[in-house]
Chains A and B, each alone.
Chain A
Amino acid sequence: MTGPIIDIDGVSKRFVKSLDMAERAARLLGANVREFVVNAVDDVHLSIRQGEVMGLVGESGCGKSTLGRIVAGLYAPSAGTVRFRGRDVAALEGEDAREAALKVQMVFQDPMASLNPRLRIDEIIGEAPRVHGLAARGEIGAYVEAALQRVGLDPAMRKRYPHQFSGGQRARIGIARALAVKPEFMVCDESVAALDVSIQAQILNLFMDLREELNLTYLFISHDLGVVEHISDRVAVMYLGRVVEQGVSEDVFASPNHPYTQALLAEIPTFEAKKKSYSVIKGEIPSPIDPPSGCHFHPRCPHAFALCRAERPPLKEIAPQRYSACHLNDAT
């Protein structure tokens, strides 16, 4: 039994749009303007064990990417702590902090937006290992070639620019760059969303191969439930900044507990021999600026009752390894 590699403990992230000068002046004059506060991530607990793939699903605006960026160290949490191998990342200093930062890497959704268009790919991939002294100056060429080969790219392409590659190849470059600093933990934020189905399958296979080869742990963020079900050992479902359900993938997909998860799973398009009639969850995702009271899902939930409007349901263990945040579990 290994301990968690990443432990997310009560992490929240608030984004505040502060007032500009004109708005402050307007407020002094009695206008009704106020600061916008978005609770993008709201008190999330999640621990990820060595070697597993943790899937994180949810619709746009649910905070899944923000959580991924907090884990990767790109945002500082507003509250709570992220622990890497038991040590609070925020409290580390000097060499330890650098070490922890290198060990957690991120692969972004849009490879074109995350690769510098003016750099050749040997520079894109080689820069970090050179700066961090992972490869000696003379060996950097060989190091980059090995990195390219590992993700299935021809090392002869190392002098090209990002625009000379196809979407699938760019995704591979993004992965090679993340792997170049020998991470132990990868945050994959919608890393296959922009790819065609046949290319997506290649990249998913690559992720799985790398995981075995390099003993990696993934936080795999996606809105595509099919992809997450395929790749994840465990899965967490987010809705408006909160984790509403969490558990072993097989269990969650076989018998979802939270009404939101149930609705989400009912709507995955699947191959079916006959026509499907789409059942529908009503309404839209509420604005995170002004989320509903109590359980955020209650306006769309078919089972909502008075308590759901008043009180936030805690994320409780409803079965071994299985957590859900729903008042219905107490009602019975």
Chain B
Amino acid sequence: MTALLSIKDLRTYFFTDDGVVKAVDGVSFSLARGQILGLVGESGSGKSVTGFSLLGLVDPPGRVVGGSIRFDGKDLLTGGEPALRALRGKRIAMIFQDPMMTLNPVLRIDTQMIETVLAHDNVSRTEALKRARDALVMVGISSPDERLQSYPHQFSGGMRQRVAIAIAMLHKPDLIIADEPTTALDVTIQAQILAEVQKLCAETGTALIWITHDLAIVSGLADRLAVMYAGRVVEEGETARVIERPLHPYTKGLIASVPQGKTRGARLQQISGMPPSLRNLPKGCAFRPRCSRADEACLEEPALEEKLPDRKTRCFHPWSLDDARDTRRQAPSKDGMAETTT
């Protein structure tokens, strides 16, 4: 099976007055049809810029300076703006964190949805309206006819995000890029949206890139995970195996620092220090100053390598390789976290 999307060594730099910010610096991953990829990282790790780069939405002073993005066999970076325009909304759609950003506040929902349909398909307005209505039904909006007549401000946050998803689904795209779409929502509403997206992807075979800072959300949703730190992918692999046995010290730290019931009373394992400034990255591995396993070797930049079958990481001293024996000896804990701590 060929990959639907394959990104190789993508680099997006921002040329600011204070110097070059390497927001995305050598990101590679691929995605098959119908697959869900969780792109995880903290603020400033370059996860959103990666998403924007895919659709050619990076504004100056930012620019994609290298690498390749192949979508269904075509190179998106060399195709130019017209080719991208034909893809955007039609075959690749995006859902943003703030649905108010996607929706025009002065237009009714039906106007906006019909416009989206007509942008790519030559159909009658009646037909377009019917498709808009069907899309709203699909994302679980009750009384769609009434809702089509409403303005965005008449919706609650969760409903707005549903409308944004409905608009993204209008053309049954091959790929949806979702940038923190549930971050601003309440837990119960977030669960509704997650359930909806999961169902839609399974039904329509749409591939999904779910960009988030919350590892816990994607661990229940994504097939594969890519963890980003300081503009680079530091770990990639099948979700369950990454969570169960993280290779990169950063991934391990990230998993351990999520507070849960099991950690009550105990101190949370914390990653010391803070994420580095992208203008002034440490030499070699960017995580080196915060890492407990770092030594002189880490002054060199590690490459993203396959350390275990189908498990890539960018680290000279990955966890779980030398600890593999210990992990096997312990019964795998129920929460999926190997409890090997030093």
B271 and A279 form a contact (CB under 8 A): no
Return the contact of B188 from the options A59, A199, A250 (Cβ within 8 A): A59
A60 and B186 form a contact (CB under 8 A): yes
Give min CB distance, B281 to chain A, whole Å: 16
With A198-B253, A271-B336 given, is the CB distance from A230 to B260 under 8 Å? Answer: yes
- List residues of chain B with CB under 8 Å of any chain A CB: 42-43, 156, 158-159, 186-192, 194-195, 198, 213-217, 219-221, 240, 243-244, 253-261, 263-264, 267-272, 274-275, 335-337
Return the contact of A270 from the options B159, B270, B335 (Cβ within 8 A): B335
Q: Is A139 an interface residue (CB 8 A)?
A: no
* Interface pairs A-B: 4 shortest CB-CB: A230-B259, A276-B220, A201-B257, A267-B191
B244 and A273 form a contact (CB under 8 A): yes
A205 and B268 form a contact (CB under 8 A): yes
Tell me the bound Cα distance from A256 to B244 in angstroms: 28
Return the contact of B186 from the options A199, A208, A223 (Cβ within 8 A): A223
Known: A270-B335, A275-B221. 16 other contacts (CB 8 A): A196-B43, A201-B268, A223-B186, A226-B259, A229-B260, A230-B263, A231-B259, A264-B187, A264-B188, A267-B188, A267-B191, A269-B194, A270-B220, A271-B336, A277-B195, A280-B191
**B253: which A residues are within 8 A, CB to CB?**
198
A225 and B258 form a contact (CB under 8 A): no
Tell me the bound Cα distance from A271 to B158 in angstroms: 24
Tell me the bound Cα distance from A277 to B269 in angstroms: 29
Tell me the bound Cα distance from A273 to B222 in angstroms: 11
| Chain A: CB-nearest residue to B256 | A201
Q: List 23 A-B contacts (CB under 8 A).
A: A59-B189, A196-B275, A198-B254, A198-B271, A198-B275, A200-B259, A226-B259, A231-B264, A263-B188, A267-B191, A269-B217, A270-B260, A271-B216, A271-B219, A271-B258, A271-B336, A272-B335, A276-B220, A278-B192, A278-B220, A281-B191, A284-B159, A285-B186
Q: Give a binary string over A275-314; 1 marks a CB under 8 Å from any B CB, 0 the rest.
A: 1111111001100000000000000000000000000000
Return the contact of A166 from the options B158, B216, B258, B274 (Cβ within 8 A): B274
Tell me the bound Cα distance from A263 to B198 in angstroms: 19
**B187: which A residues are within 8 A, CB to CB?**
59, 223, 225, 264, 267-268
Return the contact of A227 from the options B217, B259, B275, B336 (Cβ within 8 A): B259
Tell me the bound Cα distance from A229 to B216 in angstroms: 15
Size band of the interface chain A makes with B? 35 or more
B219 and A229 form a contact (CB under 8 A): no
Q: Is A253 an interface residue (CB 8 A)?
A: yes
**B269: which A residues are within 8 A, CB to CB?**
201
B268 and A204 form a contact (CB under 8 A): yes
**B243: which A residues are within 8 A, CB to CB?**
271, 273
Most A CB contacts (10 A, CB to CB) among B156, B260, B261, B263 go to B261
Return the contact of A196 from the options B195, B213, B259, B267 (Cβ within 8 A): B213
For window 224-248 of chain A, which residues contact chain B by CB distance below 8 Å?
225-227, 229-231
**A277: which B residues are within 8 A, CB to CB?**
195, 198
Q: Is A155 an interface residue (CB 8 A)?
A: no
Give min CB distance, A308 to chain B, whole Å: 18
Q: Is A118 an interface residue (CB 8 A)?
A: no
Tell me the bound Cα distance from A303 to B221 in angstroms: 29
Tell me the bound Cα distance from A168 to B270 in angstroms: 13
B216 and A226 form a contact (CB under 8 A): yes
Give min CB distance, A163 to chain B, whole Å: 14
Tell me the bound Cα distance from A305 to B263 in angstroms: 38
B214 and A269 form a contact (CB under 8 A): yes
With A197-B42, A197-B215 given, is the CB distance from A271 to B255 under 8 Å? Answer: yes
With A197-B258, A223-B187 given, is the CB distance from A272 to B42 under 8 Å? Answer: no
Give min CB distance, B30 to chain A, whole Å: 20
Most B CB contacts (10 A, CB to CB) among A60, A166, A201, A231 go to A201
Tell me the bound Cα distance from A78 to B275 in angstroms: 45
**B337: which A residues are within 8 A, CB to CB?**
271
**A60: which B residues are within 8 A, CB to CB?**
186
**A253: which B residues are within 8 A, CB to CB?**
261
Most A CB contacts (10 A, CB to CB) among B187, B190, B215, B271 go to B187
**B159: which A residues are within 8 A, CB to CB?**
284
Q: Is A274 an interface residue (CB 8 A)?
A: yes
| Chain B: CB-nearest residue to A60 | B186
**A269: which B residues are within 8 A, CB to CB?**
190, 194, 214, 216-217, 219-220
Return the contact of A205 from the options B191, B217, B270 (Cβ within 8 A): B270
Give min CB distance, B65 to chain A, whole Å: 27
Give min CB distance, A302 to chain B, whole Å: 13
**A267: which B residues are within 8 A, CB to CB?**
187-188, 190-191
Give min CB distance, B181 to chain A, whole Å: 14
